[in-house]
Amino acid sequence: MVLVDKLFEEEISKGISVFFGERREVVYTELTREERNAVTMVFKYGVDHIRKVSPKIAADIETQLSIALKVAGIFKEMLPEKKPITFPSETGSIGVAWLFPQAIRYATTPSPSAPAYSSYSLNSWDIPITTGTPAYLFGDGTNFYKASPATGKHAMLLVFNNGIIEVGTTPKIDQFRLYSEGFAKYGIYTVDPLVEVTVEENKAIYQYPTPLGAVPVFYDKGIMWGFMPRVSGTATIKLLGLVFYEHDLFPTLTWVA
């Protein structure tokens, strides 16, 4: 076991927090050179493409490679069956990919055994919203969200610091609340009024701050990450981050139905 504050000491010293809820210690193993190369390759090709779309967002994300590597080391050590991290994934390995809708809503109907509770529509970055009614990136207000906990199909998600991006005409959120099982003492946080100004000139891209930092999402303890819409309609909210998973979770092209 290693203290969270010790493991992420370098990132914290640079002003980037990592939200672990009540966890003060985590299991962890250093990655091999090959594993570091796999995670780094995936991270860099994503950041390089984000830079073509939004240099300002890319500048925020590209400083967080060390967080991705450490979360990968936590996930690798957590698994009941030890496996190497590879890219692309293969049988008997751990894969790494940029977050995509099926990695979040990995079950058609969430349940205690598949707690993919979220307001996201299946296979989509769209969230139906109603003025004054909370909606949830993760969880549903009652049930906590967990990454896939299925035997042989475990996963762990990582949402990067400042990695909540809304695409569309006007941003629709002022308030967020993030908490986890056994750690619900935090109230809301709000965004600054200038979030309505696009982060890149002439592009309908809006970036929400995440003052609690980067957010790892575990398979053994859930989180709740909600927001309060101020308009009704559909919000297209894309989460910039990575998913680490046992190969059998996504062995081929996946559609949740």
The CA radius of gyration of the chain, in Å to the nearest whole number, is 17
- pLDDT tens-digit readout, 88-138: 999 999 999 999 999 999 999 999 999 999 999 999 999 999 999 999 999
Cα separation of 88 and 96, whole Å?
8
**192 — pLDDT class (breaks 50, 70, 90):** confident
**139 — pLDDT class (breaks 50, 70, 90):** very high
- Give me the residue spans of the domains in the chain: 2-244
pTM above 0.95, yes or no: yes
Cα separation of 141 and 149, whole Å?
20
Does the pLDDT value for residue 154 go beyond 80?
yes
Task: Report the pLDDT value the prediction gives residue 221, as an integer from 0 to 100.
Answer: 96
